[in-house]
Chains A and B, each alone.
Chain A
Amino acid sequence: KQEVTQIPAALSVPEGENLVLNCSFTDSAIYNLQWFRQDPGKGLTSLLLIQSSQREQTSGRLNASLDKSSGRSTLYIAASQPGDSATYLCAVGGRYALNFGKGTSLLVTP
């Protein structure tokens, strides 16, 4: 069974800092990996989708990398802003479903 772990569980940084969120998974036989953002009491917003054949994806200030062989992905957020405060979820796509980590709760302080 795929196990997805996200570190750290919570993170607080001052505005403007660059930061890295980590995701690890136990089974490297994946189809893709997605990073999502979830605001309190809300649904999920897809940030980046990396297919298994890709190494990274970029969107604006966000960059996600994927190393299948080591079972790791990182989400890099450049020049963080208070509006980036949310929970970030990593989800590993298997043959049938997405397996989610518990998320990293990010707080960016002004």
Chain B
Amino acid sequence: GAVVSQHPSRVICKSGTSVKIECRSLDFQATTMFWYRQFPKQSLMLMATSNEGSKATYEQGVEKDKFLINHASLTLSTLTVTSAHPEDSSFYICSARGAGGVTDTQYFGPGTRLTVL
């Protein structure tokens, strides 16, 4: 299947700093990319959906000014957690979907473990 990478895999930062997470589709063009957050023993919760070249669509309760998403190319999306706080500590997972639309498979990255001290 298709491969999606994330970088970094793990990051520890101080409260108040900003952290950027990259999500790349390595062998296909990702028309749409998704960002999820997963707290321990919880389900994946969708944060936002981004289409290449467009502004991201954020889910209710997700602050767009805090979680900046850029999807500048068909193979790269970035999530920047601005002014991170300890409650932002979580497992962030991206996924990518090709041009097949809603019936197409989403391929998931390996995740990024963010710890804010």
Contacts and interface: CB of A to CB of B under 8 A. Distances in A.
A and B associate? yes
Nearest to B111: A43
A34 B106 CA distance: 9
A89 B108 contact: no
Contact of A102 (B42, B91, B93, B107): B42
B32 to A, nearest CB: 10
B98 interface: no
Given A96-B49, A97-B49, A31 B103 contact: yes
A49 B105 contact: yes
Contacts of B102: 31-32, 93-96
B34 interface: yes
Nearest to A105: B41
B1 interface: yes
Interface string B13-34: 0000000000000000000001
A91 to B, nearest CB: 8
Binding site of A, secondary structure by majority: helix, strand, loop or mixed?
Answer: strand
- Range for the number of chain A residues in contact with chain B: 20 to 34
Contacts of A43: 6, 93, 108-111
Nearest to B60: A1
Nearest to A101: B43
A48 to B, nearest CB: 10
29 contacts: A4-B43, A31-B103, A32-B102, A34-B106, A36-B108, A41-B113, A42-B110, A42-B111, A43-B93, A43-B108, A43-B110, A43-B111, A44-B108, A45-B108, A46-B1, A46-B105, A46-B106, A46-B108, A89-B43, A91-B44, A93-B103, A95-B102, A96-B57, A96-B102, A97-B34, A98-B34, A98-B44, A99-B46, A102-B41
In the complex, the 4 A-B pairs of residues with the closest C-beta atoms, listed nearest first = A43-B110, A44-B108, A100-B43, A43-B111
Interface of A: 4, 31-32, 34, 36, 41-46, 49, 51, 89, 91, 93-103
